[in-house]
Every structure is written in structure tokens, then in C-alpha cells.
Chain A
Amino acid sequence: MQNLEMKKEFKTIAELLPKNVRVLDVGCGDGSLMNLLIKEKNIKARGLEIKQEYVKKCISRGLSVIEGDAETELHQFPDQSFDYVILSQTLQAFYNPEQVLKDLLRIGKSAIVSIPNFGYWKVRTSLLVFGKMPVTKTLPNSWYNTPNLHMCTIKDLFNFCLDKNIKINKIVGLNENKTSEIKKSNLEIKNLFSKIGIFWLG
């Protein structure tokens, strides 16, 4: 499941987190990120995952994972029961991303949310030059089979957080192997050159 970019993303998330905290990984997949966090940061990690195949994989790796749909089942986690809640590249796949974000910030003291950036220049060119919905490494599906219902750019999520009074602690942009901090001052350019945006919220 893990490609190089994902590895870099996970590493960046791990660097953002302090040691020994309690983390809920929403949409934890095969548990790669949880494993990394446990090993490198002695983090107490729990996962929520919808695909049974991944759930089984996590369980056999000794990870704690609950099979369930984040869209409908986040209510089971009590308020402020985790230090951090992580949502890696799935916000755009929810019917109601706003409600999911609210839930993340209810469950965790902070949330770390990463998104594939629809503002990345290759994505923009695809639409502008070829007139076709973009298919890239970070957005590998075609328009008719993409799970992504609510694509957004780094700038969109930035503005959304301002609108909804969600505190942004830090944004990290990711392109290939390079990371860079995104601020209001460099937002336009980073929104063009980052493939993935990682938001530390709340």
C-alpha cells in the first residue's frame, strides 16, 4: 500500500507529533502509520478502518483497530479522548467533510489532516491544457470511479479553517521528497507546487 510519497507523508506526520501521546488514526489502512508512530514515538495508537482486509492485517500486526465507517461511526469515541486524531488523505472522500472535521476536533485535542492538493500545477494543467479531469500519482482514479467527492486545494482548506474558526497550528507542503512550511505569505506559490498538504489543526 505504501509508496514513497506516502512514506514521506507518514514521516512528516510522525515528526509533527510529540512522544508518548494518544493517537487515533482514522482510515488507518494496513496500519503502516500506526506502526511507525509506535516504534519511533512510543505513541499509543488506535485505528479506525472500513476495509476488512486491512483490519485483519492490523490485527495480525498486533495493532488495535476498529472496523467501521468514519462517516457514521466517529460518534463512538468520547470527547477529547485522544491527544491527536489523524486523517490521512481521506477528507475529500466523505459525504460530509465538515461534520467529519468537527468530529475529529471533538475527539482529539488536535487533528492532523492531510489532503491531495487539487491546486498542484500538474492537476491544474491537466484540466487547463487537456480539458480532462486530472489523473496523477496522488489522484490515480478517473472521474467515474474516484472515491473523492469533495476535492479541494490547500488554499480551499486554509480558507475553510478561517471561515469556521478552526485554529491552524502549522501547514506542511509535500512535493516528492521535499517538505516546506506553508504560511499565509507563501500560500499562493505553495498551493501550486505542493502535491500534498498536511494541516495541524485545533
Chain B
Amino acid sequence: MKEKMENIKKLNISKPLLLDCKQTVSDFPLAYETYGKLNENKDNAILVFHALTGDQFVSGINPVTKKDGWWISAVGPGKAIDTNKYFVICANVIGGCMGSWGPKEMNKKTNEPYGLNFPVITIRDIVKAQETLLEYLGINKLLCATGGSMGGMQALQFCATFPNRTFSAVPIACSTSHSAQNIALNELARQAVMADPVWDKGKYLKKNVQPKNGLAVARMVGHISYLSEKGMQEKFGRKLQEKADYEFSFDADFQVESYLRHQGYTFVERFDANSILYITRAMDYFDLSRQFKGGLIEAFRNQKTKFLIISFSSDWLYTTKENKETVIALNSAGADVSFAEIKTDKGHDSFLVNEPEFLKTIKGFIDSMHAKFRNEKRI
């Protein structure tokens, strides 16, 4: 994977960044990718934030994994977020493992991978680092900031921290703070990694190995939570995996087992186990209301950004109820907010698959916002 990583676009951030854990860091890499072209008026830039296990490769073919970009259903030429029209930017989060500064990178002081010496980062730290990228690209105000799940949290954080940096925002299937259930599921993922003896308190990279078994289990937990009960039942039911009867063993008899194992073990090829610990931690620490005296309403006070919140009816990870609480907070702060719940059986993952109602909604919003933003810029 090393050779392939060399061709990734990277911005070296030299400006000091004060992290929420009080450490100040500077001179670190932020890996990113862009699609489409920034127009002369600079009114067509869209910043996409990726979710827990995503990366900067939103569309096209991911040059490292050789698979489709993670949001190819929504982003690309002629797609809902049309890269013939819009300039789409996405950065790998710090703490991640696709070229940005993360626990698998070399610590220049010790000449070893950071491992657990990497500072515990937050969603706000992640977003602040990306704002530097906008400076570098010469974009004063985005047309839109968007993302699903952890990407949606980043979009909300971005608007709260930089109130005038984007004309509109589409936080999808997310919340303003992580629920107990979501923290619990993340803890399950972390415990799976840490219970793998190969993990060795995060020092596995020195031996050039990965705690694959633990990381695979962590991924399986995630995959269960991304689907809905109904969706899973319809997709797998009790179907057996290429066999006529039970084998009376603990191999993957059922299709759903085989699916989880496949997801788990392909994931370990592309992801760093310590990154899972750090990024899930950032999600768990996320609570916008804690950052502002006066809580959530204060976080959104004086927002000029136009919001569209989208939830999915069968998402039990970030429920419609939670998404609506964000809407209520925005409303209470007097912000301009729209909300739509997409009816679907596809669960939390709905934003990543071809869900026509969702894609139509997001396209309608971004296109109409573009027309408004162009007008505003003209005046």
C-alpha cells in the first residue's frame, strides 16, 4: 500500500493548531482530493466530510483500494452532486489512515509510528484542520458543506465553528451529540480491537502487523448497525451460504455470517486499527451543546447558513427523532432550516446507496442553493 500512497494529494499544515486536548500541533499532513473545477466566481465549491471509515476518495476509483469512491452514488459527472457543475473537495480526517496525520504516521521525535502517542482528537479538531485546506484552495465561502453520519457531525461543527464559511449545509443522518447507544457500539468496536493480542497496546506497527481479528469484529459491529432489521431480514433471511444444510460447525453457515466476515476481513486490508480507536473516540466526545455557554441554541445563534437536515426512516443509529432535535435547535436559534425524512428500509447506510428519493432531495437543494448563492455574490 505504501507505493500507492505516495501519489495522494497532501497539504502540509504549518500553521499551529490548538487541539481540544490542549496540545498544539503544527507541520502535519492533510490528505485530500478534489473533483470538478472551481469556477471563476468561486461559487461552486462543496466540501464533503467523510464518515468513520471513509476517506478523501469520494467519487471515481479510489487509487489505493481500486474500488469505487465511497459516495459514487451521489457524487460524479451527471450525479446528484454533479462534478461537471460543482467543485467537490474532501479531506481525509486527521486521526485517519489515508495519508492524513494519524496514529500510523511517523512521529518525527521518536522515529516510530505514533500509535497511542497520537493525541486524542475531536470532531472540532478534525474540522479546524480542514478549514486550513479551504484557505489553501483560496475558497472564502463554500456553496455547501455536507456529509452523512460522522460527516454530518463535521458539517454541523463546521457551521458552528465557522458561521460564515458556507452558504448552505446538508448534515445527513447525524446528531448534535453522540447517544449512549452509539457510544456503547463504538466501545464494542474499540474493545474488539484492544482484545486482540496482536494489538499490543497500539504498538503493532513496529512489528509491521495488524490486529486483524479484532479490527474485523469491530467492522462487523458497525455493519450490523448500518442496516435495518427489515433490510437485513429481506437481504439475508435465514438463507444458507452455498450449502444445502447446516454443517453442524461454526463456519459461516448463514449468508449473513458470511457477509459480515467478508466485510470484516476486507476492511482490515485498508484500515488502521488505531485509527478506529481515535475516530470513534472523536465521535463519542462530540457534543455541540457543551462547546457553547447556553447550549445548542447558542451554537446556532446568528447562523446565516441555510440548512437541510435529512434523516432515514429505518436508521436506528441516528434516528429521525435525533435528527429532528437538530432541526428544533436550529429553529429555536432562528436559523434557516429545511428537513426531510426519506422513507426507506436501507437503514443508516441509505445515504451511501442508490436511494432515488434521497438523491433527488439533495440535488434539488444544492441546485437551488447554487442559484441563490450566485445571486448573492452578484449583489
Question: Residues on A close to B: CB < 8 A?
Answer: 46, 52, 55-56, 58-68, 76-78, 81
Contact = CB atoms under 8 A, between A and B. Distances in A.
Given A52-B357, A76-B324, A78-B331, A60 B338 contact: no
B334 interface: yes
Given A66-B327, A76-B324, A76-B331, A56 B341 contact: no
B340 A52 contact: yes
Interface in B288-333: 306, 308, 324, 327-328, 331-332
24 contacts: A46-B336, A52-B341, A55-B340, A56-B340, A58-B338, A59-B308, A59-B338, A59-B365, A59-B368, A60-B363, A63-B338, A64-B336, A64-B337, A65-B338, A65-B339, A66-B337, A66-B339, A67-B340, A68-B324, A76-B327, A76-B331, A76-B332, A78-B332, A81-B331
Given A52-B357, A56-B357, A76 B328 contact: yes
Nearest to A55: B340
Interface residues on B, range: 20 to 34
Contacts of A77: 331
Nearest to B335: A64
A104 B306 CA distance: 24
Contact of A59 (B328, B331, B361, B371): B361
Sorted nearest first, the 7 A-B pairs with minimum C-beta distance are: A60-B364, A62-B368, A76-B328, A66-B339, A67-B340, A59-B364, A59-B365
B235 interface: no
Interface of B: 306, 308, 324, 327-328, 331-332, 334, 336-343, 357, 360-361, 363-365, 367-369, 371-372
B82 to A, nearest CB: 14
Q: Please report whether the interface of chain A is mostly helix, strand, loop or mixed according to DSSP.
A: mixed
Given A52-B357, A81-B334, A62 B340 contact: no
Contacts of A78: 331-332
B74 to A, nearest CB: 16
Given A56-B360, A56-B361, A77-B331, A61 B368 contact: yes
Nearest to A22: B334
Given A56-B357, A65-B339, A76-B328, 7 more contacts: A56-B361, A62-B369, A66-B337, A76-B331, A76-B332, A78-B332, A81-B332
A35 B367 CA distance: 17
Interface SS of B by simple majority: helix
B340 A59 contact: yes
B360 to A, nearest CB: 6
Give the most central of A52, A59, A60, A61: most B CB within 10 Å. A59
A19 B363 CA distance: 31
Nearest to A57: B364
A62 B339 contact: no
A78 B333 CA distance: 9
Contacts of A67: 339-341
Contacts of B369: 62
Contacts of A81: 331-332, 334
Nearest to B341: A67
Contacts of B368: 59-62
Contacts of A62: 368-369, 371-372
Contact of A64 (B328, B338, B364, B371): B338
B365 A60 contact: yes
A66 B343 CA distance: 15
Contacts of B336: 46, 64
Given A52-B357, A77-B331, A68 B364 contact: no
A52 B308 CA distance: 14
B31 to A, nearest CB: 33
Contacts of B327: 66, 76
B309 to A, nearest CB: 9
Nearest to B308: A59
Given A59-B308, A59-B338, A78-B332, A52 B364 contact: no
Nearest to B361: A56
Nearest to A44: B336
Nearest to A47: B338
